Amino acid sequence: MTITDPTTTTTSALDAARAELRGRLLADGVLIDLGSPGLYGRTGVFERVYTAVDAAAVRSQADLDAEVLRFPPVEPLAAFERTDYIASFPDLAASISGFTGDDRTHRALLAARERGERWETFLEPADLMLTPAVCHPVYGLIGDTVPEGGRAFDIVGDSFRREPSLDPMRLQAFHMHEFVHVGTPESAKAHRDGRIPGMRALLESFGLAIDVVPANDPFFGRVGQILARNQVEQSLKYEFVSPVYGPDHDPTAISSANLHEDHFGTAFGLRTADGEVAHSACLAFGLERITIALFAAHGTDPDRWTSDVRAALAL
């Protein structure tokens, strides 16, 4: 999920609006500063709204009868490699290193640390990556062939993207609840397009102003600019955006609906019942972004939100 670039306003005015919201969330005890931009502790009031948002998202997709899958926040390097993420989003990727040395190497590490030097150089890559997109692990688990009618998955998990920011809408560690369909080109497109109106209605029922707009992922570098343009031209990604920072600033994405076409089907060797390369699509609820958008729109005390909003969230 990307925040649309702030082209209509000066950066400093937008930064001020972001700082104001961040300050309010911290002062009112919704989030806790952990000392690294985009990493927060979450209090009881945050968890209460977050849990309600997640439950409402699940209820809204209950007719899918999707298979439930949950994944840890890390994935094996081999799985990460199959997605080609490091080619498209190197700046967002995060690899994990561990210590494999003996007592003597450990003493050398501690001595370096004592001298104020970086000791991470004593660690070795551990063949693990932080998972950047919660639907990544699923494609490697499907097997070669998806049955007629395709398969639907209900996935929620940790995403990590290395983009430190003081914008409370841009976290380094966050959760997406994704509803993935793998099937034919037609069924994938139907999954994506057919569910956009319902997703929009759900988010609007939370008292949020919503627009659905074509968007692109933040591909890296000059080649990435071409990929991003293609993604918009082919209408592969739609974002549900909300004017979190008011009418003077571009709205912020809080959810998305994505058509991957054969991207994952090709990468993971997935076929449909009739032998064609499988297509996939995904509805992604940005749980923290929706939650924070609610606090921004309605204030930091959910007990004072309107009865309509509380009813929609079963709060």
Cα–Cα distance, 28 to 31 (Å, whole number) = 8
Return the residue of 2, 99, 196, 277 that touches its own copies, per CB under 8 A. Answer: 99
Residue (10 or 121) nearer to its own copies, CB: 121
- Rounded Cα gap, residues 1 and 249, in angstroms: 18
Q: Are strands 74-76 and 67-70 parallel, antiparallel or unpaired?
A: unpaired
Query: Least CB distance from residue 246 to its own copies, whole Å?
Result: 28
Binding flag, residue 10, its own copies (CB under 8 A): no
Min dist CB 272 to its own copies, Å, is 22
Who contacts 286 (Cβ-Cβ below 8 Å, separation ≥6)? 1, 174, 176, 253, 254, 255, 256
Distance CA 232, CA 285 (A): 20
> Per-residue contact track with its own copies, 141 to 170, x per CB under 8 A?
x----------------x-x-x--------
Measured distance CA(299)–CA(296) in Å, rounded:
6
From the list 96-104, 193-201, 209-217, 239-247, the region that binds its own copies by CB under 8 A is 96-104
What's the distance, Cα to Cα, between the start and end of the chain in Å? 26
Judged by CB under 8 A, does residue 101 bind its own copies? yes
Residue 42's closest CA among 28, 54, 55, 61? 28
One-letter amino acid for residue 264 of the chain:
F
**Which part of the chain contacts its own copies (CB under 8 A), choosing from 89-97, 193-201, 239-247, 274-282?**
89-97
Distance CA 29, CA 241 (A): 26
Our finding on whether 180 is near its own copies (CB under 8 A) is no
Please report whether residue 108 would count as binding its own copies according to CB under 8 A.
Answer: no
- In the complex, least distance from residue 287 CB atom to its own copies, rounded to whole angstroms: 12
Instruction: Provide CB contacts within 8 A for 249, sequence distance 6+.
Output: 6, 8, 9, 13, 14, 17, 243
Residue 288 CA to residue 253 CA, distance in Å, equals: 11
Residues 112-131 that bind its own copies (CB under 8 A): 113, 118-120, 123, 125-128, 130
Pair 217, 89: CB distance under 8 Å: yes
If the CB atoms of residues 65 and 274 are measured against its own copies, the closer one turns out to be 65
Range 33-72, binding its own copies (CB under 8 A)? 34-36, 39-44, 46-47, 67-72
Interface residues toward its own copies, by CB under 8 A: 32, 34-36, 39-44, 46-47, 67-76, 78-79, 86-87, 90-91, 93-103, 106, 109-110, 113, 118-120, 123, 125-128, 130, 137, 140-141, 158, 160, 162, 171-173, 220-222
